[in-house]
Amino acid sequence: MATHQATAVGTVPHTEVHHEHHHESFWTKYIFSQDHKTIAKQFLLTGFTAGFIGILLSGIFRLQLAFPDVSFPFLETLLGKWAPEGRLDPNFYMALVTMHGTILVFWLLTGGLSGTFANLLIPLQLGARDMASPFINMLSFHFFFWGTVVLFASFFVETGPAGAGWTVYPPLSALPQAMPGSGLGMILWIIALVLFVVGVLMGGLNYITTVLNMRTQGMSPFRMPLAVWSLFTVAVLGLLSFPPAVAAFILLLFDHSLGTSFYLSDIYIAGQALPQQGGNVLLYLHLFWFLGHPEVYIVLLPALGITSELISTHARKPIFGYKVMVYSILGIAFVSFIVWAHHMFVSGMNPLLGSIFTATTLLVAIPSAMKIFNYIFTLWKGRVQLNTPMLFGIGTVSFFISGGLTGFFLGVAPMDIPLHNTYFVVGHFHLVMGVSAVFAMFGGTYHWFPRLWGRMMNERLGYIHFWLTFVGANLVFFPMYYMGFGGVPRRYYAFTEFSFTNKWADLNVFITIAALITIFGQLIFIYNFFHSMFYGRPAPRNPWKATTLEWSAPVKHLHGNWPGKLPVVHRWAYDYSKPGSPVDFIPQYISDEDIARGVRWWEEDFDPSTVIDREEPSGGEKRVSAPEPVITPLPSPHQKPEAPSSS
Partner 1 sequence: MDAPVTQERIRLHPKELLLWLYLGATAMLFAGFTSAYLVQRFSEYWKTFDIPVVFWVNTVILVGSSFTLWWAQRGYRRGDPWQLQVGLMATMVMGVVFLLGQFLGWQLLVRQGLFLAGNHKGASYFYVLSGLHGLHLIAGLIVIGYWTYKALRYQVGSESWLGLRLAGIFWHGLDLLWLYLVVFLQINQLF
What is the footprint of partner 1 within residues 613-642 (CB under 8 A)?
618-619, 623, 626-627, 629-632, 634-642
Residues 227-246 that bind partner 1 (CB under 8 A): 239-246
Shortest reach from residue 269's CB to partner 1, in Å: 17
Binding residues for partner 1 restricted to 366-405, rule: CB under 8 A? none
Residues 280, 347, 385, 581: which binds partner 1 (CB under 8 A)?
A: 280
Report the alpha-carbon distance of residue 497 to residue 355 in Å, rounded.
Answer: 36
- Closer Cβ to partner 1, 177 or 220, answer by number: 220
- The whole-angstrom separation of Cα 428 and Cα 166 is 16
Distance (Å, whole) CA 43 – CA 630: 30
- Please say which residue, 74 or 268, places its beta carbon nearer to partner 1: 268
Nearer to partner 1, 92 or 589 (CB): 589
Contacting partner 1 within 5-44 (CB under 8 A): 5-8, 10
Q: Is the Cβ of residue 44 or residue 198 nearer to partner 1 in the bound state?
A: 198
Give the 3-state DSSP-derived string for 557-611, with helices as H, strands as E and coil as C: CCCCCCCCCCCCCCCCCCCECCCCCCCCECCCCCCHHHHHHCCCCCCCCCCCHHH
The distance of closest approach from Cβ of residue 602 to partner 1 in the complex, given in angstroms and rounded to an integer, is: 18
Q: Taking contact as CB under 8 A, which single stretch among the options 197-205, 393-401, 502-510, 599-607 is the one that binds partner 1? A: 197-205
Q: Which is nearer to partner 1, 6 or 433 (CB)?
A: 6
Q: Restricting to residues 105-134, which ones interact with partner 1 according to CB under 8 A?
A: 132-133
Minimal CA–CA distance to 622: which of 11, 21, 121, 128? Answer: 128
Among the listed residues 208, 267, 452, 476, the single contact to partner 1 using CB under 8 A: 208
Size of the site for partner 1 (CB under 8 A): 83
Shortest distance in whole angstroms from residue 280 CB to partner 1: 6
With contact defined as beta carbons under 8 Å apart, do 168 and 252 qualify? Answer: yes
Range 583-602, binding partner 1 (CB under 8 A): 591-592
Q: Output 213 or 610, the one with its CB closest to partner 1.
A: 213
For residues 423-462, which are near partner 1 according to CB under 8 A? none
Q: What is the full DSSP assignment across 437-449?
A: HHHHHHHHHHHHH
CB of 636 to partner 1, least distance (A): 8
**Does 571 participate in binding partner 1 (rule CB under 8 A)?**
yes
Binding mask 285-304 for partner 1 (x = CB under 8 A): -xx--x--------------
Choosing from 93, 262, 297, 392, the residue that interacts with partner 1 (CB under 8 A) is 262
Q: Of 18-26, 43-51, 108-116, 259-267, which part binds partner 1 (CB under 8 A)?
A: 259-267
- Identify the CA nearest to 485 among candidates 431, 418, 433, 428: 418
With CB under 8 A as the contact rule, the residue among 275, 579, 580, 598 that binds partner 1 is 275
Cis-peptide, bond into residue 171, ω within 30° of zero: yes
Task: Kindly tell me which residue out of 51, 165, 170, 218 binds partner 1, with binding defined by CB under 8 A.
Answer: 218
- Residue 486 Cα distances to 320, 346, 404, 409, 499, angstroms: 40, 18, 20, 15, 12
CB of 349 to partner 1, least distance (A): 12
226 and 309 Cβ atoms separated by less than 8 Å: yes
Closest separation in Å from C-beta 245 to partner 1: 8
- DSSP readout, 125-156? HHT-SS-S-HHHHHHHHHHHHHHHHHHHHGGG
Longest Cα separation, the chain: 88
Nearest Cα to Cα of residue 581 among 322, 317, 321, 376:
317
By C-beta, is 4 or 23 nearer to partner 1?
Answer: 4
C-alpha R_g of the chain:
26
Work out whether the CA dihedral 344, 345, 349, 352 comes out positive or negative.
Answer: positive
| Sequence-ordered list of residues with C-beta below 8 angstroms from that of 465, at least 6 positions apart, any chain | 388, 442, 521, 522, 524, 525, 528
User: Does 569 sit near partner 1 (CB under 8 A)?
Assistant: yes
Task: Examine residue 212 and tell whether it contacts partner 1 (CB under 8 A).
Answer: yes
Q: How far is the CB of 406 from partner 1 (least distance, A)?
A: 31
Distances in whole angstroms, Cα of residue 643 to Cα of each of 376, 514, 627, 640, 646: 59, 70, 15, 9, 9
- Give the nearest distance from C-beta 459 to partner 1 in angstroms: 34
Q: Does residue 550 contact residue 288 with C-beta atoms inside 8 Å?
A: no
